Amino acid sequence: MAFIRVGPEDFDLGQEMAALRGEAGDIGAVASFIGIVRGAAGAPITAMTLEHYPGMTERAIARMAAEAEMRFALSACRIIHRTGCIPIAGQIVLVLTAAGHRKAALEATSFLIDWLKVAAPFWKKEHLAGGMERWVDAQAADDSAAARWQSS
């Protein structure tokens, strides 16, 4: 069963990797993804606020993780998604997967991050220089990335 945490606390990759390896048993590969707050074209971003609906968000992520565990025969999976105001260059999301072979771990990580972008109920607001704010719209490229997993 996947470990899932949603909240404002930051994470430490080394600690999370050690925890995953402790849960996984006999594995041949671990894959990881860390998402980081970055700037955007045309407007200097100073931070991003992520909001969510507690309970609903964790259930949606748990469904994605269960699908990945089954689809890629994962031995363990850890997903941490931060909420609240995160400064530029701050960590937003961590996905760790452990499997018997590298291909499964890498594909599961890609699958999970693609689906997190489109199916996890988060609302993102960018804070811009000068005190302006704007909500982040869904991106067609994210929908396309997730759609590739529907046919495979």
Could you list the residue range(s) of the whole structural domain that residue 28 is in?
A: 3-147
In the numeric block, the tokens 């993804």 are attached to 33
In a domain, 70, yes or no: yes
Amino acid sitting at position 132:
M
> Which CATH number do you get for residue 41?
3.90.1170.40
Residuewise pLDDT in 10s, the chain (152 residues): 899 999 999 999 999 999 999 998 889 999 999 999 987 666 788 999 999 999 999 999 999 999 999 999 999 999 999 999 999 999 999 999 999 999 999 999 999 999 999 889 999 999 998 888 989 887 777 778 777 888 55
Amino acid sitting at position 79:
I
Contacts for 42 with CB less than 8 Å, ≥ 6 apart: none
Number of structural domains found in the chain: 1
Q: Diameter of the chain by CA atoms?
A: 52
pTM: 0.92
In a domain, 152, yes or no: no
Strand partners, 3: 78
- Under a CB-based contact definition with an 8 Å cutoff, are residues 49 and 124 in contact? yes
